[in-house]
């Protein structure tokens, strides 16, 4: 009898915890996007977006809350489009796989660069953010460009465009190119002397240098080896969501909402001409 009672209590607690958390998530994200101001007013479906919230300042967790430029950008876009949505932190791998399937999550927002290879597996929104890979080294390093990195130890995050670019320069299978699961750990490797440089997106590097002034790092922009690249929202192949979202992205760029958001997070004006003219 006692055993039965104990297991009943445990089950009850589990149910309360699970449903409690679920309800809270809905409050946070779902209801935010209720403002209808466009042609999709009849669409009452709640679209679920996945993200990998380990990419400050683009997307990160502040306690149990998602924050970052991408998160606020998505909010602005979905409000503009008049669509209901939710965002969940699933991690990078789970995001890629579940967005590919498109059943549980219908979109991904996680500073995903638009590349031709990825276009074979996914649909993208129009470009919404211009980025570039930069090299981060200690002050006074002799590394001046990407080609100087040959024969040096370089840390990157696996699967990022920095990884793709450096693999091309240093060769696939080269163990001097250390591929970490996140940029945070790659940056730590540089701190602890295991790497001579980190290559990552400019937003990440600037943010790290800015928040760690005592570590005396500098960023090197190599415009010849690292071309500009563009982030897009990620959708499964054949998704109808891209068509609904693109006009909204254009609209918030045109009406200044985008510029405001950009200034809030990066302290400078974006070059929106580049975005609108990119491919």
Q: Which residues bind other proteins (CB under 8 A)?
A: 93, 96-97, 117-118, 121, 158-160, 163-164, 167, 172-173, 175, 178-181, 185, 188-189, 192-194
CB-nearer residue toward other proteins: 172 or 224: 172
Beta carbon nearer to other proteins, 175 or 214: 175
Answer whether 194's CB lies under 8 Å from 178's CB: yes
173: left (phi over 0), alpha (psi -120 to 50) or beta: left
Q: Nearest distance from residue 179's CB to other proteins, in Å?
A: 6
| Mode of pairing for the β-strands spanning 122-124 and 234-236 | antiparallel
Token code pair at residue 216: 């005396």
Least Å from the CB of residue 191 to other proteins: 8
Shorter beta-carbon distance to other proteins: residue 54 or 160:
160
H or E stretch at 220 = strand 217-220
Output 118 or 152, the one with its CB closest to other proteins: 118
Compute the least distance from the CB of residue 110 to other proteins, in Å: 12
Rg value, the chain, Cα: 21
CA 157 to chain centre: 13
Asked whether 33 and 84 are in contact (CB, 8 A), the reply is yes
Minimal distance, residue 127 CB to other proteins, in Å: 18
């Amino acid at each position: 009898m006692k055993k039965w009672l104990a297991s009943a209590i445990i089950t009850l607690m589990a149910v309360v915890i699970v449903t409690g958390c679920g309800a809270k998530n809905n409050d946070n994200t779902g209801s935010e996007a209720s403002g209808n101001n466009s042609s999709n007013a009849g669409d009452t479906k709640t679209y679920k977006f996945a993200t990998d919230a380990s990419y400050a300042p683009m997307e990160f967790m502040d306690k149990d809350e998602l924050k970052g430029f991408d998160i606020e950008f998505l909010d602005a876009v979905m409000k503009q489009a008049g669509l209901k949505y939710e965002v969940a932190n699933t991690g990078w791998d789970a995001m890629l796989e579940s967005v590919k399937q498109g059943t549980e999550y219908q979109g991904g927002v996680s500073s995903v660069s638009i590349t031709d290879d990825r276009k074979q597996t996914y649909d993208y929104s129009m470009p919404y953010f211009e980025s570039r890979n930069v090299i981060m080294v200690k002050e006074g390093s002799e590394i001046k460009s990407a080609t100087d990195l040959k024969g040096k130890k370089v840390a990157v995050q696996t699967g990022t465009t920095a990884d793709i670019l450096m693999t091309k320069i240093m060769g696939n299978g080269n163990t001097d190119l250390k591929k970490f699961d996140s940029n945070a750990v790659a940056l730590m490797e540089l701190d602890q002397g295991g790497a001579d440089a980190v290559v990552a997106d400019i937003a990440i590097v600037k943010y790290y240098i800015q928040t760690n002034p005592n570590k005396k790092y500098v960023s090197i922009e190599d415009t010849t080896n690292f071309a500009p690249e563009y982030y897009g929202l990620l959708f499964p192949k054949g998704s109808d969501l891209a068509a609904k979202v693109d006009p909204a992205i254009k609209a918030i760029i045109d009406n200044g909402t985008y510029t405001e958001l950009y200034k809030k997070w990066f302290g400078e004006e974006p070059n929106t001409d580049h975005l609108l003219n990119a491919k």
